[in-house]
């Protein structure tokens, strides 16, 4: 039995029966907990096979939390929530040729752009995390399947190419900044 209980007021309190099948589609499951169902509780405990996972409910007033989904080293979908600032940018590539179609004073372009492509990128900050999250960030950078949920799963590419592991002893408060780009062009040429 899998139990999900919020504390101290138990505003979230339900159980899910464990699958009895050996079919992997039924065994590997995601549990989505809507924390909007609780207004006064401080943390949530999820119990499975005697193991207790504690989720601290963190109210983030300034930034909208962003959930990044990825396939971890076991091939399971894992989520890292980024709680701090998100910065969006647009990267554009194009080619240019010099035209002889008329004078600029007549409204003609002397230099004409073509094959214009744009790709949106963004940078997010994790907020302060525990040192035990280092392995999760490593798996995120090594994953080939990364998504953000925005009215459906939107594919991403991790553009950050290196990760300096942070420790509490050296860095005190651990915050990771990760760069992503959407896995498609703004102008679809296919």
pLDDT confidence of residue 153:
92
Averages of pLDDT over runs of 10 residues in the chain (190 residues) are: 89 84 70 80 88 81 87 92 91 91 84 91 91 92 93 92 82 88 83
pTM beyond 0.85, yes or no: no
pLDDT confidence of residue 45:
92
3-state secondary structure string across the chain: CEEEEEECCCCCEEEECCCCCCCHHHHCCCCCCCHHHCCCCCEEEEEECCEEEEEECCCCCCCCCEEEEEECCCCCEEEEEECCCEEEEEEEEEEEEECCCCCHHHCCCCEEEEEEEEEEEEEEECCCECHHHHHHHHHHHHCCCEEEECCCEEEEEECCCCCCCCCHHHHCCECCEEEEEECCCCCCCC
pLDDT confidence of residue 61:
65
């Amino acid at each position: 039995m899998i139990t999900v209980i919020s504390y101290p007021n138990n505003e979230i309190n339900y159980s899910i029966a464990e699958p009895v099948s050996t079919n992997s589609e039924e065994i590997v499951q995601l549990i989505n907990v809507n924390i909007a169902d609780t207004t006064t509780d401080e943390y949530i405990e999820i119990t499975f096979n005697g193991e207790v996972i504690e989720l601290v409910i963190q109210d983030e007033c300034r930034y909208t939390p962003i959930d990044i989904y990825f396939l971890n080293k076991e091939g399971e979908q894992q989520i890292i929530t980024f709680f701090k600032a998100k910065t969006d940018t647009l990267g554009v590539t194009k080619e240019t040729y010099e035209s002889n179609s008329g004078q600029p004073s007549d409204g003609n372009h002397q230099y004409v752009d073509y094959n214009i492509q744009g790709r949106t990128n963004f940078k997010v900050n994790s907020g302060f995390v525990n040192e035990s999250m280092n392995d999760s960030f490593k798996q995120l950078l090594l994953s080939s399947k990364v998504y953000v949920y925005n009215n459906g799963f939107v594919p991403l590419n991790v553009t950050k190419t290196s990760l300096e592991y942070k420790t509490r002893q050296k860095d005190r408060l651990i915050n990771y900044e990760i760069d992503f780009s959407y896995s498609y062009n703004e102008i679809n040429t296919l």
